[in-house]
Structure 1
Amino acid sequence: MWIAVIATGLGCYALKLGGLLTPQSVLEDPRVRRFTELVPVALLTALIAVQALADGRSLDFDAARMAGLAAAVGALLLRAPFLVVLVVAAGVAAGLRLLGV
């Protein structure tokens, strides 16, 4: 277990160091800049999809999670701060679960 923790820590450190040591000419390349702008959005979208639609290794349509996701989208469209979006989504999902949905 400790070997995995140490290896993960070293890997994270190496990744961070690699970012700091990357030459400026590479960072100014338009393709690299476009990649770094789009990858976080794609990863966050994938994480949201997995958390909203998956239960273990299978797809699961959970009405409370879907309603929480819809509430989060509504809060984002209203330009709410990120923390408010999280609280609204969690509150809607928790409220529906409390009602037995």
Structure 2
Amino acid sequence: MSDTTLWVAVLAGSAVVFVLKLVGHLVPEHWLAQPRVARTAALVTVALLSALVAVQAATSGSELVADARLPALAVAAVALVLRAPFIVVVVLAALTAALLRALGMP
């Protein structure tokens, strides 16, 4: 991919995101107050965040990997289900990954 193509793609993507945000601000407030719209917005947020976590935890570059991040993510999920405070969730996940890496897991 050439530099010009890359910059055109970046600028086009930026323009699309800007227009989407602008349209979001122009939507009448009474539309957003509807329960169905609010529920859908909440679910979209959760889905996007989940996809981001999955990509960051299970890939390296363009390859799927199973390294210390996956068990750390599982520990974090269990801690969240048990309603642990967020800082505890982060520390438990970090300690799990660090311990597994110290034991030789990539």
SS of the residue aligned with 1:80? coil
Counterpart CA distance in 1 for 2:70 and 2:16 is 35
Aligned pair count reads 100
**Aligned partner of 1:89 among 90, 93, 102:** 93
Q: Distance in 2 between matches of 1:24 and 1:52?
A: 37
Decide which of 66, 74, 80 is 1:61's aligned counterpart.
Answer: 66
Q: TM-score, normalised by structure 1?
A: 0.74
Normalised to the residue count of structure 2, the TM-score between the two structures is 0.71
Shift of 1:39: 0.9
Cα distance, 1:17 vs structure 2: 6.4
Corresponding position of 2:51: 46
For the aligned residue pairs, the C-alpha RMSD in angstroms reads 2.6
C-alpha change, 1:67 and 1:36, in structure 2 (3 Å) is: same
Q: Structure 1: any 5+ residue segments left out of the alignment? A: 1-8
Runs (4+) of structure 1 exceeding 6 A deviation are 9-17
How far is the alpha carbon of 1:37 from its aligned partner? Answer: 1.4
Q: Which amino acid aligns with 1:46?
A: A
Are 2:42 and 1:37 aligned?
yes
Tell me how far apart the structure 1 counterparts of residues 101 and 43 of structure 2 sit (CA, whole Å): 34
